[in-house]
Amino acid sequence: MPASLPSMIRARLQGVADPTRAPGMQAYMKSEMPYLGVSSMPLRKVCKELFAGLSWPDSAAWQSDVLAIWRGAEFREERYAALELSGVKAAQGFHDLSALPMYEEMIVIGAWWDYIDVIAGHRLWTILQGEGAGMKRKMLAWSTDANMWKRRSAILCQLRAKESTDLDFLYACIEPSLASKEFFLRKAIGWALRQYAWTDPKEVRRYVSRNQARLSGLSKREALKNIGAAA
């Protein structure tokens, strides 16, 4: 990666930004970090153009480049660009357990759903596919962590699993947060269950029924949103 890529990203994003949108975007995301005013499609286009042809000799070099953008960000869209770089095809082979500390840093520092849901639903899922047993141990540890966003990440890491969902693992990740009053954990529980309901609605109904008194109203509504409560 050219040493100037972080500054190139900022310059290109500034070039496609609509500054009049920035205050509204910042308010919507309740972000302390300011926005430039770049919507998702122009941002992805800039990233696609800048990241085309990039490659790395090893995972450490790729992680260094992602974190250089992430840590040096002054605007939220720059952190979105770091997330885009983490998911490029050339980095697919680097998604093993060695990448987890990088994502942990981004989750803990980012501490908001727009970052966490991309990482959990896509990047952690990729690691899980290749590092099943080891990754499950890590996520089970995260599921009991004091950090809410690590817990949310553990709950959501199988969002894309469909019929390959490990239900015992999913329920084990949910279990430590069932009594939590945190909105983002209750929402994550419902979302994870709702997503699996596309594959097996009867199982989700069974789980909700069995845990009726333990699940929050929000989690139950989310879980059953697309299938109803009827048996």
pLDDT at residue 179 is higher than 60: yes
Domain that holds residue 207: 95-231
Contact 136, 162 (CB under 8 A): no
Do residue 111 and residue 75 come from a single domain? no
Please indicate, yes or no, whether residues 134 and 69 belong to a single structural domain of this protein: no
CA–CA distance, 145 with 134 (Å, rounded to integer): 17
Tell me how many domains the chain contains. 2
- Residue 48: is its pLDDT beyond 90? yes
Same domain, 216 and 139: yes
Please name the helix (run of DSSP H) or strand (run of DSSP E) that holds residue 104, with its range, or none. Answer: helix 100-110
Q: Residue 231's pLDDT is what?
A: 44
The CATH code of the domain that includes 230 is 1.25.10.90
pLDDT at 148 over 80: yes
DSSP-derived 3-state class of residue 195: helix
Whole-prediction pTM: 0.94
pLDDT confidence band for 220 (50 / 70 / 90): very high
In whole numbers, what is the pLDDT of the chain averaged over residues? 95
Q: Of 92, 116, 142, at which residue does a domain stop?
A: 92
Identify the pLDDT of residue 70. Answer: 97
Nearest Cα to 86, choosing from 51, 43, 39?
Answer: 51
Output the pLDDT for position 116: 97
- Res. 133: pLDDT tops 90: yes
Closest to 229 in 3D by CA, of 187, 184, 194, 199: 194
- Which of the listed residues 59, 92, 125 is the one where a domain comes to its end? 92
- Give the list of residues 6+ apart from residue 188 with CB closer than 8 angstroms, or none: 151, 152, 155, 156, 177
Does the pLDDT value for residue 228 go beyond 80? no
How many other C-beta atoms lie within 10 A of the C-beta of residue 13? 23
- Whether the per-residue pLDDT at 5 is higher than 90: the answer is no
Q: Evaluate whether 176 touches 144 at the Cβ level (below 8 Å).
A: yes
Residue 2, pLDDT score: 46
Whether 28 and 125 map to the same domain: the answer is no
Q: What is the pLDDT of residue 1?
A: 45
The percent of residues in the chain predicted with pLDDT above 90, rounded, is: 94
Over range 205-228, report the average pLDDT: 95
The verdict on 178 and 228 lying in the same domain is: yes
* Mean pLDDT within 110-116: 97
Give the whole-number percent of the chain exceeding pLDDT 70: 97
Which tens digit of pLDDT belongs to each residue from 17-27?
Answer: 999 999 999 99
Q: From its phi and psi, is residue 31 left (phi > 0), alpha (psi between -120 and 50) or beta?
A: beta
Rounded Cα distance, 189 and 201, in Å: 15
Residues 151, 203, single domain; the answer is: yes
Amino acid at 80: Y
